[in-house]
Amino acid sequence: MNKFFICLSAALIALPVLAKDRVTHNPDYTNTESILHVWSWNFPTIADNMKQISDAGFTMIQTSPVQACFNPEGSSKKIFDDNVTEGNWYYYYQPTDWKIGNQILGSRDQMKVMMDSAAKYNIKVIVDVLPNHTAFDIDAVSDDFYKAVGGRDKMFHSQGLQGVEDYNDRLQCTLWGSGGLPDVNTENPDFQKYYMEFVNDLLSLGVRGFRYDTAKHIGVHSDPVDTASGVKENDFWDVATGRKAVKGVRLAVPYDELFVYGEVLQDKNVPEAEYAEYFGQTASGYGHVLREALEKGSINGMDVVNWHHTSAPEYLTTWVESHDTYANAHESAHLTDEQIRTGWVFLTARQNGVPLFFSRPMGSTRQQYWGDNILGARGNDEFFHPEVIAVNKFRTAMNGQKEDIQFSDNGQVIVVNRGKQGAAIININDASNFVNLPTGLPDGTYHDVVYGKEFKVKKGILKGIAAPHRTYIITK
């Protein structure tokens, strides 16, 4: 292990990590960051586009999983192949070892080049990690991995090869295989040590955040304990977040310096408040409501102000769509780029939440979701559309400004006011709309930063005309 990690680990032993209150909302807090999910882009592609990502106003990127993964011969060409011969995006969600580098994203050396580029442009890198399971094919798991955890019989929970039948049953949810994927015994200290060495290697390269895939399938202290596997307590999250060391290995960077959120998809019996003791969470319920509004072209009858979560909004990762809603069940893939964009501007103009922009494949259409269908290639141009750039920069500029959200009577126009400094105007409908809504902006004439469209404020009322599926950013 690197000497830096040894010294820092020793120093941290005397500095216990205290639980942060991620449930009580601070109404004065303003989130300013935004994430570009460079989904299925490889390391060289990400590095080559880092300047454009920065110029687009994103402050963070989230990569696809970087660990060794399931790799059938010839499987690293297409994002999705119906014949399952030339590749599938979900292979990198099937770990075979916890070492950096795979056939989709590239090698550790290529990752280092990408990290150097991120540092040059002051972009924080988040890595998608998934310690909850291995590949479907347990024979594909590396011998080194099995040896490190004490053998194949120590790798999985006692019923980890049995598929979950009831996702609202916390025993099944945390100790059986989710989606049929073999459920790892994440409480095995040998596994924890091996996994944390991987995490610390990522930190040594400059990674400063993690998205924990299937996080709600890794138990917290109130969940059932797999005593049949010799487990005494569900302590994975204590180790992963630096509260405790395992076999002399501890998180190598103070946890408060990292951006960490868990994929805790909302459902019945999920202990959201307990997960909040460890990390931020996904606002999956909110995303569903927002997509429904975009489909209808109106927010009437829906609450798009409330975040629909028990956690404080400043600790929620938000999205219009995720890679799962797009690529897995295609729940959001039918929405047009324009609809996604209007949703993004609304989400990003808000005071709280950390929005994540999913990069759809290059050439994708509403008939052909995979587009050019090339693994490793850059996504389409939407991440640097002028409206996306404008709201990303608006978000940063509005630091410290509280939100006030106004809606037209027909629910088709939304105005997100930020104090007396700025406003985002969003028309989520396919028809033009008059804007006639309250604002905090001083009286005067304004022109939006993208199209130069004129809006006027008189006696605290913002007036103008919004084109179909169009957004406008105006500032004082």
How far is the first Cα of the chain from the last one, in angstroms, to the nearest whole number?
53
What's phi and psi for 68, nearest 5 deg? -55, 140
User: What string of H, E and C letters represents the secondary structure of 388-450?
Assistant: HHHHHHHHHHCCCCCEEEEECCCCCEEEEEECCCEEEEEECCCCCEEEEEECCCCCEEEECCC
Q: What tokens were used for 78?
A: 């297409």
Those residues whose C-beta lies under 8 Å from the C-beta of residue 467, and which sit 6 or more positions away, are 427, 432
Q: Which residue among the candidates 97, 183, 187, 263 is catalytic per the annotation?
A: 263
The 8-class DSSP code of residue 326 comes to I
Based on the residue annotation, tell me whether 213 is a catalytic residue of this protein.
yes
Round to whole Å and give the CA distance between 44 and 114. Answer: 7
User: Can you tell me which residue has the tokens 């949810």?
Assistant: 173
Residue of 213, 277, 387, 448 marked catalytic? 213
Count the helices and strands in the chain (H runs, E runs): 14, 18
Q: Report d(CA 72, CA 87) in Å as an integer.
A: 8
Nearest-angstrom CA–CA distance, 424 and 247: 51
* Tokens at 438, concatenated: 């309250």
274 among known catalytic residues? no
DSSP-based three-state secondary structure for 52 = helix
Tokens of 120: 């040059």
Burial class of 73 by CB neighbour count within 10 A (0 to 12, 13 to 18, 19+):
exposed
Give the residue numbers annotated as catalytic, written as ranges. 213, 263
